[in-house]
Structure 1
Amino acid sequence: MTRRKQAEQALAESEDHYRHTVELNPQVPWTADPDGMILDASKRWESLTGLSVSDSLGTGWIRALHPDDVKSTSRVWTESLRTGRPLDVQYRIHRVDGTWRWMRARATARRGKNGEIIRWYGTVEDINDQRSTEEALRRSEARLKAVFDAVPVGIVIAEAPDGRVVMSNPRAEEILRSPEAAPAMIDDYCRESISFTPGPNSKFTRKIDHDQDHDHPLANAIMGGKSIGPTEYLRFHSDGSSAWISLTGAPVLDPDGRVSGGVVAIQDIDEDKREMQRLSDLNTVLKIKLEAHQ
């Protein structure tokens, strides 16, 4: 009798343990027969929807769904029942507080010895906060993309550590007249150019592509954590024309201070640069004429 009592007590404790595991789980476990009829579900479903478990059996659970989600959810569930593939579907349910919240239902089939489906085991979890965060992120990305494409300055973004280009806006392509094959490295945007850094000791420096020590000066500087510029470049185009541009580069830092990439702002300064050169040439001519009349 003592052994029997001990076994009964152990069984009761085990049942109590698993009952609390199911009932206190933030997810809603459920089971269904091979035809998709719900056989059982956690009482948490009732606390979420106000719909009792008994009323949710069979196809009763559909009454908790948003009307706009019933058709798509039923279609996905029917497809899983037909093919035996795992179920993964999202839908809204009506909460007891009157609100609609997004849920995610997943299930996997249990098969018999011959491969036939004998039971479906699944869970339903609340993903409303996750959905809200994802939607807010998508809206934020859309706004940033609109700004990125609309700014009058060319922007090129590269990843660390090699300076490989991952993104550029239309203005950058317009200024640089990039060929059909987009540049792969951030330094490709100033290849075959003459650089000029404004200042008291201004000087022109022709870039030498075959010099391995300076093969990627822009990427090396930015990925090394240094800001660059503004530096002016006389960029030569494939049609033989040239145009002055200004590049300003800066590293992109992670919260821990590591360089995760770099961004370069590109401005078209050709008109202003050539106008300044024209005025400078005119000033030189006037000086020569004045000196000749003295």
Structure 2
Amino acid sequence: MPAPWDDGARLRALDSYQVLDTPPERAFDDVVTLAAQICAAPVALVSLVAEDRQFFKAEVGLGVRYTPLDQSICAHAILRPGLFVVPDTTQDPRFRDNPLVTGSPHLRFYAGALLETPEGLPLGTLCVLDHVPRPEGLTAQQGFALQVLARQVMSQLELRRALQAREESAARLAESERQFRILADSMPQMVWATRPDGFHDYYNRRWYEFTGVPDGSTDGEAWNGMFHPEDQARARSRWQHSLETGEPYEIEYRLRRHDGVFRWTLGRALPVRDPQGRIIRWFGTCTDIEEQKQTGEKLRLSEERLRLALSASEMVGTWVWDVAANRITADPGYARLFSVTPEAVAEGLPIETLLPALHPEDRPATEAAIARALAGEQDGLFEAEYRVLLQGGETRWVAARGRCERDAEGRPTRFPGVVVDVTERRLAEEAKELLARELSHRIKNIFTVVGGMVSISAMGAAAEVRNFAGALRRRLNALAAAHDYVRPHSPESRPVDPETTLHGLLGKLLAPYGEVGSARVSLLGDDAPIGVRAATSLALILHELATNAAKYGALKGTEGRVTITGKRHDAHLALTWEERGGPAVEGPPTRRGFGTVLAERGAITQLGGSIAHDWARDGLTLRLQVPLERLAH
């Protein structure tokens, strides 16, 4: 008869117990001995039917541990539920030619009880055999006892599998811990971790290399003694605040290096929570920012020098262009920047003699700005920054500003303006941008490392911990995407449009849920510039809304849609998130998740705004109002 189960699944289940070809064990030997005594049988077996043989985990009276599958009576027994009895094997066409029947040991009687997994897959039988037929079979008591003992065999197999699984889980946890330590030790930052109460119990190798202290000497509260005396109270207070509130920890302090020198360090930490929202660990990093601090001081001094330079007359030049006569007259400051003599510009020069001093890459844009001013665009305003090539080969940056005046008929007449040498400012800005990109790169690395540590820490853990780790990792990815949008860490990651706006951020964050502008996700109304700080809070809010919409709301099915509308009003931007066409809403959620709480806190504390929910039956409507000034930070 055909098997009511898939044999591949049955064999995989058998392999999962890892019992084939294992040595005898007393727990199974005792079972077959008892079965033989109860059933008054000379032979009893715990028989497991493998792919090409039957293996006897325990046996009494047979003297072998396995036989070929074509000699197996048990292979037929597993095809039927309940107790399988063959009163006389010589009278059964399935077995009368079996070598075990026709030859030694001349088996004439068989009774077997299924060894069945909790999923209903038969692994084999607990069976008794006799050398003489038994037309009467087993008594009711013997049959019942054989089935009870078969269940005991399965209990032993389940216990064996559970113990093996626990051992394997311990090996996986140890490997996860080893991989985490390798990852943490390979980082350029100092990595540390604490218990929920803030007790420091882990530092990576970089910490000990930097500080030079013995392993374990800064566990507990001893870490604070590594800071500059002037920073210790502030650092302890900030850390205590994070422990009490669960807010992320961030501070700059001076950390003592192994040679006794104090270096400025950026300390950061994030809490890891269980599904109930309880903090179970803190993971933190310390990043040496001494060079950045020095660069910042250099930038400050450079800006001070720039202010002094701009106050000097030779750094500023004024000019007047008589458009009709095409003559530009200017002062000595202008003459120096355009490599002409003061006498020549005092007399007046055609504009064509001055334009060649512009850098070839900047000339087309500058000439276009002049043309727009001559055409009367923006009320004749002219603004441009470009490079000029001095006669000695030096290149200087110039900022020019002017306005084209017109006569009664609207024809351009007089075009006065001023030029300022802004080379020092441009160099300072380039240095500042380089620093910002470096910090952005490091911040993005930290997001990646923390996400990696969360993933590694969740390996081998319970399902609810893995789910929490996945949610935390997705929030970190949303923050990283928002951060890279408003503060690209490299020219390659910079957007085509240099201005970072709310619509741009929405497009970045909502891309996984459908193309913005499609039938599913609509973006309407006013746009507004956003800054680095605001982007972080907005990313959390929008990521949480999109995630919840995909799980429970309008983006869950194919018919739902989300409409996001921005509207400027006075000094505020009102952003409305409206979901329609999704599952019916039964009212506000009974439990507020960690992401929702974090998003609302960001809207209020970081953005200085307000947030309101309308849980209408036809879909959620969320209204967020934020001051435009805070949005641009």
* TM-score between the two structures when normalised by the length of structure 2: 0.26
Assess, with a 3 A threshold, how the Cα gap between structure 1 residues 52 and 131 changes in structure 2: closer, same or farther: same
3-state DSSP of counterpart to 1:31? strand
Assess, with a 3 A threshold, how the Cα gap between structure 1 residues 146 and 113 changes in structure 2: closer, same or farther: same
User: What's the RMSD between the two structures over aligned residues?
Assistant: 4.8
- Determine if contact 2:228/2:254 at 8 Å carries over to the other structure: yes
3-state DSSP of counterpart to 2:382? helix
Q: Which residues of structure 1 form unaligned runs of 5+?
A: 157-171, 173-188, 203-210, 235-244, 256-294
Higher relative contact order (CA 8 A, sep 6+): 1
Give the Cα–Cα distance (whole angstroms) in 2 for the partners of residues 200 and 50 of structure 1.
70
Assess, with a 3 A threshold, how the Cα gap between structure 1 residues 102 and 114 changes in structure 2: closer, same or farther: same
Give the Cα–Cα distance (whole angstroms) in 1 for the partners of residues 349 and 274 of structure 2.
83
Residues 1:151 and 2:312 aligned together: yes
Residues 1:137 and 2:275 aligned together: no
Give matches, 1:103-252, under 5 Å.
103-148=265-310, 150-152=311-313, 197-198=328-329, 199=347, 213-215=375-377, 219=382, 222=384, 247-249=417-419
3-state DSSP of counterpart to 1:131? helix
Residue identity in the other structure for 1:139: L
Residues 1:40 and 2:208 aligned together: no
Give the Cα–Cα distance (whole angstroms) in 2 for the partners of residues 55 and 201 of structure 1.
76
Assess, with a 3 A threshold, how the Cα gap between structure 1 residues 122 and 228 changes in structure 2: closer, same or farther: closer
- 1:235-273 Cα deviation digits (max 9, x unpaired): xxxxxxxxxx97454898989xxxxxxxxxxxxxxxxxx
3-state DSSP of counterpart to 1:56? coil
Give the Cα–Cα distance (whole angstroms) in 2 for the partners of residues 121 and 200 of structure 1.
69
Give the Cα–Cα distance (whole angstroms) in 2 for the partners of residues 53 and 214 of structure 1.
72
- How far has the Cα of 1:77 moved from its partner? 1.1
Give the Cα–Cα distance (whole angstroms) in 1 for the partners of residues 349 and 201 of structure 2.
84
- How far has the Cα of 1:95 moved from its partner? 1.1
* TM-score between the two structures when normalised by the length of structure 1: 0.52
- 1:47-71 Cα deviation digits (max 9, x unpaired): 1112234111111011211111111
Give the Cα–Cα distance (whole angstroms) in 2 for the partners of residues 200 and 77 of structure 1.
67
- 1:90-131 Cα deviation digits (max 9, x unpaired): 111111123221111111111233322222111112111122
- Determine if contact 1:51/1:64 at 8 Å carries over to the other structure: no
Q: Which residues of structure 2 form unaligned runs of 5+?
A: 1-17, 19-163, 330-346, 351-372, 389-397, 406-414, 431-633
Give the Cα–Cα distance (whole angstroms) in 2 for the partners of residues 13 and 56 of structure 1.
26
3-state DSSP of counterpart to 1:123? strand
Give the Cα–Cα distance (whole angstroms) in 2 for the partners of residues 25 and 39 of structure 1.
18
- Determine if contact 1:45/1:53 at 8 Å carries over to the other structure: no
The correspondence for 1:69, drawn from 210, 216, 231, is: 231
- How far has the Cα of 1:33 moved from its partner? 2.2
3-state DSSP of counterpart to 1:34? coil
- Determine if contact 2:399/2:422 at 8 Å carries over to the other structure: no
Residue identity in the other structure for 1:115: G
- How far has the Cα of 1:44 moved from its partner? 2.0
- Determine if contact 1:225/1:251 at 8 Å carries over to the other structure: no
- Report what 1:87 is aligned to: 249
Residue identity in the other structure for 2:212: G
- Report what 2:355 is aligned to: none
Give the Cα–Cα distance (whole angstroms) in 1 for the partners of residues 204 and 188 of structure 2.
10
Assess, with a 3 A threshold, how the Cα gap between structure 1 residues 86 and 228 changes in structure 2: closer, same or farther: closer
Matched length? 201
3-state DSSP of counterpart to 2:375? helix
- Report what 1:272 is aligned to: none
Residue identity in the other structure for 1:24: S
- Report what 1:59 is aligned to: 221
3-state DSSP of counterpart to 1:78? helix
Query: Which structure shows the bigger proportion of residues in strand conformation?
Result: 1
Assess, with a 3 A threshold, how the Cα gap between structure 1 residues 140 and 33 changes in structure 2: closer, same or farther: same
Give the Cα–Cα distance (whole angstroms) in 2 for the partners of residues 24 and 228 of structure 1.
46
Q: Between the two proteins, what is the percent identity of the paired residues? A: 29
- Report what 1:50 is aligned to: 212
- How far has the Cα of 1:143 moved from its partner? 2.2
Give the Cα–Cα distance (whole angstroms) in 2 for the partners of residues 129 and 64 of structure 1.
20
Give the Cα–Cα distance (whole angstroms) in 1 for the partners of residues 217 and 180 of structure 2.
24
The correspondence for 2:190, drawn from 25, 28, 33, is: 28
Assess, with a 3 A threshold, how the Cα gap between structure 1 residues 223 and 37 changes in structure 2: closer, same or farther: closer
- How far has the Cα of 1:155 moved from its partner? 5.2
Give the Cα–Cα distance (whole angstroms) in 1 for the partners of residues 174 and 416 of structure 2.
78
- How far has the Cα of 1:200 moved from its partner? 7.1
Give the Cα–Cα distance (whole angstroms) in 2 for the partners of residues 84 and 90 of structure 1.
19
Give the Cα–Cα distance (whole angstroms) in 2 for the partners of residues 135 and 115 of structure 1.
42
Task: Kindly name which structure, 1 or 2, has the bigger radius of gyration based on alpha carbons.
Answer: 2
Give the Cα–Cα distance (whole angstroms) in 1 for the partners of residues 256 and 186 of structure 2.
21
Give the Cα–Cα distance (whole angstroms) in 2 for the partners of residues 200 and 146 of structure 1.
30
